Amino acid sequence: MSIFLDTGKISEVERFMEMGIIRGVTTNPTILLKDGVTGGMAGVRKQSIQIAKMIEPYPLSVEVTNNDPRGMLDQAREFAQWAENIVVKITIHGPEGELENLEVVHRLETEYDVRINVTAMMSAQQCFLAALAGASYVSIFGGRVNNMGYNVCDEIIKLRNVLDQFELKSKIIVASTREILNVIEWLEAGGHIVTVLPALLEGMVVHPYSKETVKMFLDDAARL
């Protein structure tokens, strides 16, 4: 575990899988819409199955599209049947703070053996409760926390400590990555996984001084 790619594009998944530098893929309705997935739920299903096969055995996160408890339960069970490496994303609570989501998470993990990624969290305490509910993954939105004027590293450190202390199975995903430096910073703080957009991942690979050095090597080799 370390880097998950945030995308719904087949070409981007294929590109970075061939490099061997990603360990999973995350999507959500916003990402899929931006990346041009059409055809409603049938389109989401087709794209998800294709990506899941490409990255197997690494996980693919697919998010439920409603916040009705019965609907989330049924949709999550359906998504989980698409491929063995599907992980279902469910938000920590509803848009008005409804609390039924964690009950759904607990039932899916304990009764139906569906792997859940609880998402849209902004604090260690939210993630800790999701871990107690049985979530396989807990996603804290690091970039948004930082934008609120707090250093998410403090939350990651606290969260990792309590997960280890209470021997909870949940893996920490730090999402909403804004800057290249966030990736190493957040992993060093104790995150198991950081989600990265393709453009940011390219920025991690390419360094201006590396480009300058490669050019110097090639120019000198030509003069030989």
d(CA 136, CA 120): 15
pTM comes to 0.95
* Catalytic residue list contains 89: yes
Q: Give Cβ neighbours of residue 176 (< 8 Å, ≥ 6 apart).
A: 141, 142, 143, 144, 145, 195
Neighbours of 217 (CB within 10 A): 10
Tokens 């393709």, residue located: 198
d(CA 139, CA 122): 9
For residue 149, give the 3-state DSSP assignment.
Answer: coil
Question: Could you say which of 89, 169, 171, 215 is catalytic?
Answer: 89
Name the residue type at position 26: T
Within the chain, strands assigned E span 3-6, 25-26, 60-63, 86-91, 116-121, 137-141, 171-175, 193-196
Q: What is the pLDDT along the chain (224 residues), one digit of tens a residue?
A: 799 999 999 999 999 999 999 999 999 878 887 888 888 889 899 999 999 999 999 999 999 999 999 999 999 999 999 999 999 999 999 999 999 999 999 999 999 999 999 999 999 999 999 999 999 999 999 999 999 999 999 999 999 999 999 999 999 999 999 999 999 999 999 999 999 999 999 999 999 999 999 999 999 999 99
The whole-number pLDDT of residue 160 equals: 98
- β-bridge partners, 203: none
Domain coordinates in residue numbering, the chain: 3-223
Q: Give Cβ neighbours of residue 57 (< 8 Å, ≥ 6 apart).
A: 84, 85
Peptide bond into 57 cis (omega under 30): yes
- C-alpha closest to that of 128 among 167, 182, 78: 167
- β-bridge partners, 62: 88
The whole-number pLDDT of residue 85 equals: 98
Taking the CA atoms of 185, 4, 71 and 76 in sequence, report the sign of the dihedral they define: negative
Q: Give Cβ neighbours of residue 110 (< 8 Å, ≥ 6 apart).
A: 134
Domain 3-223 has CATH 3.40.50.720: no
The whole-number pLDDT of residue 33 equals: 78
